[in-house]
Amino acid sequence: MSLLASGLLAVLLASPSPEPIAWTDWSDGVFERARKEDRFVLLDLGAVWCHWCHVMEETTYKDPKVVELVRARYLAVRVDQDARPDLSNRYEDYGWPATVIFDKSGAELAKFQGYVPPARMASLLQGIIDDPTPGPSVMESREPDVTPATEPRLSDAQRGELVELLAHRYDTEQGGWGFSHKFLDWDAVEICILRAREGDTRAEAMARETLAKQTKLIDSVWGGVNQYSDSGDWEHPHFEKIMQFQAENLRIYSLAYTQWRDPSYLKAARDVHRYLTTFLMGPEGAFYTSQDADVVQGEHSGEYYDLPDAERRKRGIPRVDTHQYTRENGWAIHGLVALHAATGDAEPLRQALAAARFIVAKRALQGGGFRHDEKDSAGPYLGDTLAAGRAFLSLYQVTKDAEWLRRAEEAAAFIQSRFEAPGGAGFSTAAGAGHRWQREENVMVARLGAGLFETTANTAHKALAERAMRYLASAQIAPRPQTGGVLLADRALAELRPATARR
């Protein structure tokens, strides 16, 4: 445990415990109640796998002064961001944990990123009570108005700019994209793999160096990939294991092995696969969401991960979040299919099919869409139907089973009918007013639509891809980090060659 966290916990242990904060769930009714009771709303948006979320729970939210202020003037709302993709996408730049304070009408007053110590939190809460004027954190983070691109493509100048930005944002000393946190930027590596096929030696060097460095974040005992390393190098991992990182590392190492036949890439893919099937696979074949970094919540576990398997198990196994979300299963299926395609192994495909059948049986909605969980308090969300659609298309590509193509097309139609964003471009995270575009999701919509058009020649799928691309190609969105996804989406539309089948 860090000196900061251990010192704060020691203070708490020596202090009398106040009445706990009465946390409630996020809903429209929160603000109705806030108006009636003349209260502010405090949103604690965290993740069940998040170390600093645990520390904040054990320190900040058990501090007597913080508890007193919250109970007197605030409605306290706690949300697991994995359970609410709409809130997660809205505040992803602030966490986790993300702390957002609203007035009783629902207007944002302040937003804070990461761990907030008790004394600072008490000061912030009192400051809002004394002067409920929106702070600079709200004013500075407003989304720009997006002007859709005229054409559903990058211009030649834009494309050249993004290729140069891809290289400029690469860390030539440590490898990888990003200079503070180190992780596998899967879209950047994938576009570099594709460019390397065409003889781009700089792209090949960036991809291969990143793939080599990323293996440092793979758990040498259990397999699976840690979320990221901080401190600007690859030596300080954060040990939580999150499904998207597992699935995308599995997919990218499989693609890299297909291209270069480097045995280290196959080993990395198999290590991730081994972890998925050992720790994140449920009894019905569907996949769980994540595994916590901490054995004891709020305590750093670096020494634990230096131990061999038997010694780890003696101390206990970090908690697994056993929610089986459609989105996370779609990601897992896509990665498993990539491993099967790279190796010919039957087992990853069998597992992908089992997970696909689970989400069809347990998460499907009428019209081709999918719920997030068994029961949703909100939604549906774009990410679930989108991940399912991509998973089904990838299954069709390796099995040629028409059922999976039909389901992929139904998912695309559901996306078109439910998630079109206002303004003629892009798709929103959730239907309804107040929801936002998310760039990564629109990249995937463009690639799904392009893949379906190539397979079926159905022009509705091409229109789906083009609508997403008009958002991605806009001047406000295209150059934002990370640029790899936009280049992949643009490339997918540039290479459209529909199959001979016609509707």
Residue 393 lies in a domain: yes
Question: Same domain, yes or no, for 68 and 198?
Answer: no
Phi, psi angles (nearest 5°) of residue 235? -105, 0
Place 134 in a pLDDT band, splitting at 50, 70 and 90.
Answer: confident
Residues 171 and 53 in one domain: no
Q: Let me know if residue 150 belongs to a domain.
A: no
pLDDT of residue 322: 97
Mean pLDDT of 90-112: 90
Domain presence at residue 503: no
Nearest in space to 176 (alpha carbons), one of 147, 135, 131, 208: 208
21 band by pLDDT with thresholds 50, 70 and 90: very high
**Cβ contact 470:424 at 8 Å:** yes
Instruction: Please state, in angstroms and rounded to a whole number, the distance separating the CA atoms of residues 226 and 494.
Output: 35
Which one, of 55, 63, 56, lies nearest residue 11 by Cα? 63
Q: Which of 49, 20, 39, 45 is closest to 293 using CA atoms?
A: 49
SS (H, E, C) 227-255: CEECCCCCCCEECCEEHHHHHHHHHHHHH
Overall average pLDDT of the 473-482 stretch? 90
The string of pLDDT tens digits covering residues 226-246 is 999 999 999 999 999 999 999
Domain with residue 113: its CATH number is 3.40.30.10
Question: Which of 139, 171, 195 marks a domain boundary?
Answer: 139
Q: Are residues 135 and 176 in the same domain?
A: no
- 500 domain residue, yes or no: no
CA angle 341, 345, 351 (to 5 degrees): 90
Judge whether 148 lies within some domain: no
Residue 309 Cα distances to 312, 313, 317, 464, angstroms: 5, 6, 10, 47
CATH of the domain at 437: 1.50.10.10
Return the ∠ at Cα 474 (arms to 473 and 479), rounded to 5°: 75
Same domain, 380 and 482: yes
What pLDDT score was predicted for residue 92? 83
| For residue 421, pLDDT beyond 80 | yes
User: What's the alpha-carbon Rg for the chain, to the nearest Å?
Assistant: 23
Does residue 502 lie in a domain region? no
Candidates 278, 178, 174; CA nearest to 216 is: 174
Mean pLDDT (whole number) for 18-39: 90
| pLDDT at position 8 | 45
Backbone angles phi, psi at 149, to 5 degrees: -65, 145
What is the domain extent for residue 242?
A: 156-494
Task: Say whether pLDDT at 141 is over 90.
Answer: no
* Whether 127 and 170 share a structural domain: no
Q: Given this model, what pLDDT does residue 481 score?
A: 85
Q: How far apart are CA 308 and CA 98, in angstroms?
A: 34
pLDDT of 503 higher than 80: no
pLDDT at position 140 is 56
Q: How far is Cα of residue 371 from the mean position of the Cα atoms in its chain?
A: 17
**Per the domain annotation, does 208 fall within a domain?**
yes
Residue 435 pLDDT: 62
Model pTM score: 0.91
Q: Which band of pLDDT confidence, cut at 50, 70 and 90, is reported for residue 13? A: very low
Indicate if 379 and 293 belong to the same structural domain: yes
Last residue of a domain, one of 112, 139, 166: 139
Same domain, 349 and 212: yes
Instruction: Show which of 139, 168, 186 is a domain's final residue.
Output: 139
Query: What average pLDDT does the chain have?
Result: 91
Residue 434 has pLDDT above 70, yes or no: no
Q: Does one domain contain both 84 and 181?
A: no
Counted domains in the chain: 2
Let me know the angle formed at the C-alpha of 124 by 121 and 129, rounded to the nearest 5 degrees. Answer: 130
Residues 330 and 476 in one domain: yes
**Is residue 40's pLDDT more than 60?**
yes
Q: Which pLDDT does position 142 carry in this prediction?
A: 56
Asked, for residue 144, whether it belongs to a domain, the answer is: no
Give the model confidence (pLDDT) of 246-272 as tens digits. Answer: 999 999 999 999 999 999 999 999 999
Please report, rounded to a whole number, the percentage of residues in the chain having pLDDT higher than 70.
93
370, pLDDT greater than 80: yes
Provide the pLDDT for residue 497. 78
Whether residue 433 has pLDDT greater than 60: no
Same domain assignment for residues 438 and 411: yes
pLDDT of 297: 81
What pLDDT does residue 501 have?
A: 44
Please say if the pLDDT value at position 198 is more than 80.
Answer: yes
Mean pLDDT of 205-227: 97
- 297 and 412 share a domain? yes
pLDDT band at 473 (very low <50, low <70, confident <90, very high): very high
Residue 129 and residue 263 in one domain: no
Q: Name the amino acid, one letter, at 27.
A: S
Q: Which residues contact 382 (CB under 8 A, 6 or more apart)?
A: 85, 415, 418, 419, 427, 428, 429, 430, 438, 441, 445
Calculate mean pLDDT across residues 489-500. Answer: 84
pLDDT band at 466 (very low <50, low <70, confident <90, very high): very high
Whether residue 448 is predicted with pLDDT greater than 70 in this model: the reply is yes
pLDDT digits (tens, 9 = 90+) for 336-363: 999 999 999 999 999 999 999 999 999 9
